[in-house]
Amino acid sequence: MSDSDQKIAIVTGANSGLGLETALELAGDSYKVVLACRSEANAKAAIAQINRAVTDPDVDFIPLNLIDRESIRQFAATFKERYGYLNLLINNAGVMGPPYTITANDLELQFDANHMGHFYLTSLLIERLDQDYETRIINVSSLAARRPYADIYFDNLNFIGNYDDGPKLYGMSGMVAYSQSKMANILFTMELKDRLAAAGKKIKAIVVHPGASNTQLSRNMPLYLRLMAPVLTRFMNISTQQQGAESLMYAAFRNDVEAGDFIGPTGQDERTGQPGRVPLPEKASDKALCEKLWALSEEKLGITFTIG
Ligand SMILES: NC(=O)c1ccc[n+]([C@@H]2O[C@H](COP(=O)([O-])OP(=O)(O)OC[C@H]3O[C@@H](n4cnc5c(N)ncnc54)[C@H](OP(=O)(O)O)[C@@H]3O)[C@@H](O)[C@H]2O)c1
């Protein structure tokens, strides 16, 4: 890439919420933004919104469904056909609190979409991020990874028989499984950071959490709570989706962000406020745990995630 070349970013889940805000910001900053979305109609609506908000945006769409391995391979192949390098991979897409679902990959939906799909996608795109200048991978985790029960449940990864047990969030169950997937985002980042450093790569792996912000992530809440959301959010220390995306932008743009940093809002209870470096959960420094998740992810995918 020469100085005159345009920077390229991929944003997964770019048609909604934090992903859409991030795509808007990047397009406004002259990035070429590749929207990685599972619905073409929703991606087109997002492109129309970006076109209205930004002068001459440079936006592309490549379909991606993170629970469909063939779709992930197709996405990576199409991206590589079209583009010779990648500056920024934002692994943002996610699902929270759906009814208990086992995917075609025999995995609990949140773990498959939020972690495994992004792990696989990253493994396929790493060669395009591997440049002689700095590039970044930003994984989007959650405050849910701070919950005392946030862990990788190796003995019952799919929560067979106990998915609906445990605390509910605004009427949504499956929150322990959600926390598992968001802890996986952190552990994956830590192990990736170590492996990139060992290989002498200039790729920075960073993890963020957006605090609490008002997006479509609440789509699995009971209807009565969703109807009350506009009123409730005013009293609940919840940010707008623009504010929620600030942590992602901080991780994308700031020069002083280091590999392995955890970026999130620094205000009350880390739910809102200016983004900055926040403490990692203790498990993030458990190297054996990070390696075990990496090995499990490779095994479930039937791949070896090679760097360099
Ligand atoms: N909002 C918050 O307060 C909050 C807090 C902590 C963490 N987060 C994290 O922030 C990220 C973005 O969430 P959001 O709040 O912006 O929610 P959102 O508005 O619901 O956006 C989620 C995006 O992920 C996409 N997605 C879901 N499953 C997918 C799949 N299998 N393949 C491809 N795309 C898929 C959705 O696509 P469709 O529109 O097609 O469903 C949507 O574009 C998530 O990782 C979430 O865990 C959010």
Amino acid at 71: S
How are the residues of the chain apportioned to helix, strand and coil, as percentages rounded to the nearest 5? 45, 15, 40
Ligand 1 geometric centre to CA of 77 (Å): 23
64 lines ligand 1 (CB under 6 A): yes
Judged against a pLDDT cut of 80, whether residue 12 lies above it is answered with yes
**Among residues of the chain, what percentage have pLDDT more than 70?**
99
The predicted-structure confidence for 220-231, as pLDDT tens digits, reads as follows 888 887 887 777
Q: What is the pLDDT at residue 229?
A: 74
Q: Give the CATH number of the domain where residue 193 resides.
A: 3.40.50.720
Structure tokens at 209: 């959490």
Check residue 170 and give its pLDDT. Answer: 79
Q: Is there a domain that residue 94 lies in?
A: yes
Q: Is the C-beta atom of 66 inside 6 A of ligand 1?
A: yes
Binding site membership of 243 for ligand 1 (Cβ less than 6 Å): no
What residue ranges in the chain does DSSP mark as E strands? 8-12, 32-37, 58-63, 88-91, 135-140, 203-208, 262-265, 275-277
Across 91-100, 177-186, 227-236, 254-263, least confident range: 227-236
| Residue 1: pLDDT over 80 | no
Question: Which residue in 185, 195, 75 sits closest to 138, CA to CA?
Answer: 185
68-88 average pLDDT score: 98
First to last CA, the chain: 19
The label of the residue with tokens 């901080």 reads 250
Query: Could you tell me the two tokens for 176?
Result: 């322990």
What is the tally of structural domains in the chain? 1
Whether residue 76 has its Cβ less than 6 Å from ligand 1? no
Closest Cα to atom 31, ligand 1: which residue? Answer: 66
Residue 284 is encoded by which pair of tokens?
A: 């993030």
User: Is residue 103 in a domain?
Assistant: yes
At residue 4 the predicted structure's pLDDT band, cuts being 50, 70 and 90, is: low
Ligand 1 centroid, distance to 196 Cα (angstroms):
27
Look at ligand 1, atom 17, and give the residue with the nearest C-alpha: 217
- Position 132 scores a pLDDT of 96
What distance in angstroms lies between residue 43's CA and the mean position of ligand 1's atoms?
14
Residue 308 lies in a domain: no
Please work out whether the CB of residue 260 comes within 6 Å of at least one atom of ligand 1: no
Q: How far apart are the CA of 308 and the centre of ligand 1, in A? A: 30
Q: Decide whether any atom of ligand 1 lies within 6 Å of the 207 Cβ.
A: no
Locate the ligand 1 atom nearest the alpha carbon of residue 14 and give its number.
43
Tell the burial category of 222 from Cβ atoms under 10 Å away from its Cβ (0-12, 13-18, 19+).
exposed
Q: Convert the pLDDT of each residue in 271-307 to its tens digit.
A: 999 999 999 999 999 999 999 999 999 999 999 999 9
31 is catalytic: no
Asked if pLDDT for residue 2 goes beyond 80, the answer is no
Please, what is the average pLDDT of the chain?
Answer: 95
Q: What is the DSSP letter of 217?
A: G
pLDDT for 271 = 94
CA distance 248 to 308: 26
The pLDDT of residue 3 is above 70:
no
Determine, yes or no, domain membership for 306. Answer: no
Note the pLDDT of residue 223: 85
Residue 158, pLDDT above cutoff 70: yes
Range of the structural domain that residue 285 is part of: 8-301
User: Is residue 139's pLDDT more than 70?
Assistant: yes
Is residue 208 within 8 A of residue 184, CB to CB? The reply is: no
Nearest CA to ligand 1 atom 36: 13
| 297 in Cβ contact with 115 (< 8 Å) | yes
Indicate whether 56 belongs to any domain. yes
State whether the beta carbon of 140 lies less than 6 angstroms from ligand 1.
yes
Whether 241 maps to a domain, the answer reads yes
Structure tokens at 186: 């952190």
With respect to residue 223, please indicate whether it lies within any of the assigned structural domains. Answer: yes
Tell how far the Cα of 300 is from the centroid of ligand 1, in angstroms. 23
- For residue 81, being part of any structural domain is answered with yes
Q: Which helix (H) or strand (E) holds 294?
A: helix 287-301
User: 303 φ, ψ to 5°?
Assistant: -130, 165
